[in-house]
Amino acid sequence: MSDEMTGLPVLRAHAEEAFAGELAALAKWDDRPRPPSWRLSPWAVAVYLLGGELPDGTLVSPKYVGPRRIVEVAVATLATDRALLLVGVPGTAKTWVSEHLAAAVSGDSTLLVQGTAGTGEESLRYGWNYARLLAEGPSRAALVPSPVLRAMAQGKLARIEELTRIPADVQDSLITVLSEKTLPIPELSGETQAVRGFNLIATANDRDRGIHELSSALRRRFSTVVLPLPATLDEEVEIVSRRVGQLGRALELPELPGGAQEIRRVVTVFRELRDGLTADGRTRVRTPSGTLSTAEAISVVTNGLALAAHFGDGVLRAADVAVGVHGAVVRDLAADRAVWRDYLEGVLRDRDGWQDFYRAARDCTD
Ligand SMILES: Nc1ncnc2c1ncn2[C@@H]1O[C@H](COP(=O)(O)OP(=O)(O)O)[C@@H](O)[C@H]1O
Ligand SMILES: [Mg+2]
């Protein structure tokens, strides 16, 4: 995949490009009814997300690992007149799932608004090209459509990241869009009506400020789907391994032995600290302030791979991941440092087969 203007290879391809082969194969075999403007049937969208095998043997890789029903409900919602709100703690794949849904349904995951406290109405509605506006007065050509307006005009899915970080009065500019399926443009005495196929996927974090900030008028227009943390150690190990493999290939890191063992250990530590309980259910441990999400486990292991590949002896070792685990657990709070030390001394020091990990972790702990 290369950049439109320079032809240079891009760092990260959009889902619809990275998985173009799978999407084309699915479209070929998909003989179920497709909602207006959808590239695939809801069934095929779910196969794209959850993975599967096509009649000609083409393998569709799983993008989301978790309860099938969650994906079915999310996809079905998008085929109704309600918008979809994905909520969950950080790192539960809200952004990831929304990108893949947009890629599979519309073939385009780029109609994206990143919500922040500074997001203004023009990011959800439209702005103006002021040079043209002054020269020609208000016209369609002077109007700068937001991703939402473009999605309406093209019958595609628009994505809004971190909806609840957007100030409530700005959020409310979506009410007319979602209830009337139109966006009035008073300056032109006109409107843009949504073409069939248009819908919205928004994400919101449980952790930071929460869904409470969604106005009730707006909340009624959304169906909420909660993305859970991975249910089991094995499931989380699978998610991390799969994603680390993809990232490693994209970064052209060599595959190293030792990966499976270290991934399992990183995920074990994260889960025990998150749950406040060791995996055998025997020992209570204190929980640090950070989220220790699956996404963080992925980056700890990827960083470990880079360390091992460039500075190690050709094997992924405990020392390569311990430094990242320490960094994820011990944030700036003194309390985290004590939590980590207690866990190291109380749990890991005497755990069978963990001596190398314990020593490496202790070495990077002051
Ligand atoms: N259940 C899951 N299935 C597949 N990948 C997951 C899952 N949970 C987390 N991930 C991975 O972790 C990362 C999640 O990051 P992201 O989507 O940004 O989380 P969020 O938006 O919820 O904070 C993605 O790279 C994704 O591959
Ligand atoms: Mg996100």
Ligand nearest to the CA of 243: 1
User: Mean pLDDT across the stretch 79-103?
Assistant: 96
Q: Name all residues whose Cβ lies below 6 A of ligand 1.
A: 64-66, 88, 90-96, 203, 230, 239, 243, 294-295, 298
Cβ 82 vs Cβ 287: under 8 Å: no
Give the type of residue at 323.
V
In whole angstroms, give the CA distance from residue 20 to residue 16: 5
Q: How far is the CA of 141 from the centre of ligand 1 (A)?
A: 39
Tokens standing for 22? 């799978």
Pairing mode of beta strands 112-114, 182-185: unpaired
Q: What is the tens place of the pLDDT at every residue in 5-29?
A: 888 888 889 999 999 999 999 999 9
How far apart are the C-alpha atoms of 20 and 28, rounded to whole Å?
Answer: 12
pLDDT digits (tens, 9 = 90+) for 128-147: 999 999 999 999 999 999 99
How far, in Å, is the centroid of ligand 1 from the Cα of 298?
A: 9
pLDDT digits (tens, 9 = 90+) for 47-88: 999 999 999 999 999 999 999 999 999 999 999 999 999 999
CATH superfamily membership of 15-226:
P-loop containing nucleotide triphosphate hydrolases (3.40.50.300)
Residue 77's pLDDT is 98
Provide the whole-model pTM: 0.93
Cβ neighbour number for residue 331 with a 10 Å cutoff: 12
CA–centroid distance, 296 to ligand 1, in Å, is 9
Question: Does pLDDT of 313 surpass 90?
Answer: no
Structure tokens at 244: 């680390």
Q: Are strands 83-88 and 222-226 parallel, antiparallel or unpaired?
A: parallel
